[in-house]
Structure 1
Amino acid sequence: MRNYGKDIEMNMNRAKDTQFKEFQKSMNIFFENENLLKQAFTHSSYVNEHRRKPFEDNERLEFLGDAVLELTVSQFLFKKYPMMSEGELTKLRAAIVCEPSLVEFANELSFGNLILLGKGEEMTGGRTRPALLADVFEAFIGALYLDKGIEHVIDFLDKVVFPKINAGAFSHVMDFKSQLQELVQRDSIGALEYRVLQEKGPAHNREFVSRVSLNGDELGTGMGRSKKEAEQHAAQMALDKLKTKMEK
């Protein structure tokens, strides 16, 4: 007697294999060990429902991928922002490798369609669950590292993640002084100078006015309750001015 349940599962497996092959073509990444790729997309709920088969979930790959992602993103930021402090680099990296960012990367690549899920997890919307998608992205990084090495991971991130950093997608966590410094340094257009123009008000309610100049020409002024705050506001004005000028 024919086992229709087994036939359905075989057809599903063939369809999933086709999906993985199409994914590799679309990314121009071809795994030597395709089992690593499949493991990266295998959730523990799927393994629990297929105990008789040699499936392994992606949790170990996620652990590895998390470390590889931190290293490669750290290296990129270290080289891109030579004037940025350790604290600022850490804050920026955290914004890039946090769950919402990883989910965005995974969704752009349609990772959710490739995940192998148990029936219960599937029915409760696991394919779109943020934590699950973030884990899958890290697991994929881990699998790619094991199969191809660190340079291929960097090549992948150079297509998916680094362009977003270059486009300023995470600039909200950078301070304006650092952004201005990077812009000036990148285009080699001169030297910045900050100067306090005015201090007013009583000691307990002091207000500062600062100016930032480029090669002696004023770029912006700002007010604040401290010198640092006033300089940040001056740098923000200067950034807007320079970006507007560059767009023309």
Structure 2
Amino acid sequence: MAILQMNITTQQIYNDTRFYNLEEKIGYTFRDRSFLIQAFTHASFTYNRVTGCYQRLEFLGDAVLDYLITRYLFEHGTTYSPGVLTDLRSALVNNVIFASLAVKYNMQKYLLVTAPPLISMIERFVELHKQKGEVNFNDDMFMVTEDEVIEGAEEDVEVPKALGDIFESLAGAIYLDCDMDLRIVWRVFYDIMKETIERCCRNPPQSPIRELFEMKSHKVRFTKVERLIEKSGARVTVDIDNGKLSFSGVGRSYRIAKTTAAKNALRYLRSLDANKEQEQKS
């Protein structure tokens, strides 16, 4: 992954042609380029002495995208039930999808970062993206972020949180640059997300928790949340068939921990069903 050299000046950052290429790619030209530079400045990149890192813009962009996608789904021609609306929003507003879209538009090439472990993680994710194409909604089952840990699932693909962050921080940057005009932000991001949104709306995915509960061949029960003080998070365990199988998930909140436990259980049960089908065929 190409990054700016460490000895680059602030003026060179502002004049770097890659950012002009990015503006052309997303169809939006910044009036104040400092918003754009900040949106792609990782906390490790201390050579940018004009703007801060992207964290505040990411916080803002997360809220903006959540609202815009929620409004789009609510106003969609199909009248979805509240449960389906929740599942659709969860499928579209998450770090895995945002990171995948960031790579689809090569946003990682504009990230100002000097953290070698993060750069290596991004390179691995980009390579996965090249091999498999855009991440689909079922792939989320096999990917984890810094917010969640599926215990006993060492084969998980780790999604660089920074990629989802710059996707959100770009939304925050555009929102501020266009004088908080949500119509402009949505025009830009709907163009970026259109194929993903339409594919999701045509075949709404279920949340892992809902899918697990609707498996008629198994009894499912989630345990009470276990607070993890040392990790500032929570652990949730799901028991399958009266405790015959148990799967745990850890996350920074109860909701994330419960979802990761459901992911772990679903992944095992799916592999079990696939093996049974294979045995029946042979």
TM-score (norm: length of structure 1): 0.59
Structure 1 residue 81: Cα displacement = 4.9
Q: Which residue pairs with 1:134 in the alignment?
A: 164
Q: Which residue pairs with 2:45 in the alignment?
A: 46
Residue identity in the other structure for 1:95: A
Distance of 2:100 and 2:28 partners within structure 1 = 20
Q: Secondary structure at the match of 1:45?
A: coil
The reply on whether 1:65 has 2:95 as its aligned counterpart is no
For residues 87-111 of structure 1, the C-alpha deviation after alignment (integer angstroms, 9 at most, x for no partner) is 2211110110111111111011101
Alignment of 1:1-248 (within 5 A): 9-10=8-9, 13=12, 17-47=16-46, 50=47, 53-120=49-116, 124-126=120-122, 130-148=160-178, 149-168=181-200, 171-173=203-205
Structure 1 residue 54: Cα displacement = 2.8
C-alpha distance 87-55 of structure 1, shift in aligned 2 (>3 A): same
Distance of 2:89 and 2:15 partners within structure 1 = 34
Structure 1 residue 167: Cα displacement = 3.1
Q: How many residues align?
A: 167
Structure 1 residue 113: Cα displacement = 0.1
Distance of 2:51 and 2:63 partners within structure 1 = 24
Distance of 2:116 and 2:196 partners within structure 1 = 35
Structure 1 residue 10: Cα displacement = 4.2
Structure 1 residue 84: Cα displacement = 1.4
Distance of 1:56 and 1:126 partners within structure 2 = 22
Distance of 2:73 and 2:85 partners within structure 1 = 7
Distance of 2:115 and 2:90 partners within structure 1 = 34
Structure number with the higher helix fraction is 1
Equivalent pair of 1:45/1:121 in contact (CA under 8 Å): no
Structure 1 residue 16: Cα displacement = 6.6
Distance of 1:95 and 1:170 partners within structure 2 = 13
C-alpha distance 12-169 of structure 1, shift in aligned 2 (>3 A): farther
Structure 1 residue 65: Cα displacement = 0.4
Q: Which residue pairs with 2:228 in the alignment?
A: none
**Structure 1 gap segments, 5+ residues each:** 1-5, 176-248
Task: Return the index of the structure with the highest Cα Rg.
Answer: 1
Structure 1 residue 120: Cα displacement = 3.8
Equivalent pair of 1:103/1:134 in contact (CA under 8 Å): yes
Identity %: 27
Distance of 1:100 and 1:132 partners within structure 2 = 11
C-alpha distance 36-163 of structure 1, shift in aligned 2 (>3 A): same
Q: Secondary structure at the match of 2:41?
A: coil
Q: Which has the higher contact order (CA 8 A, sep 6+)?
A: 2
Distance of 1:173 and 1:81 partners within structure 2 = 18
Residue identity in the other structure for 1:137: F
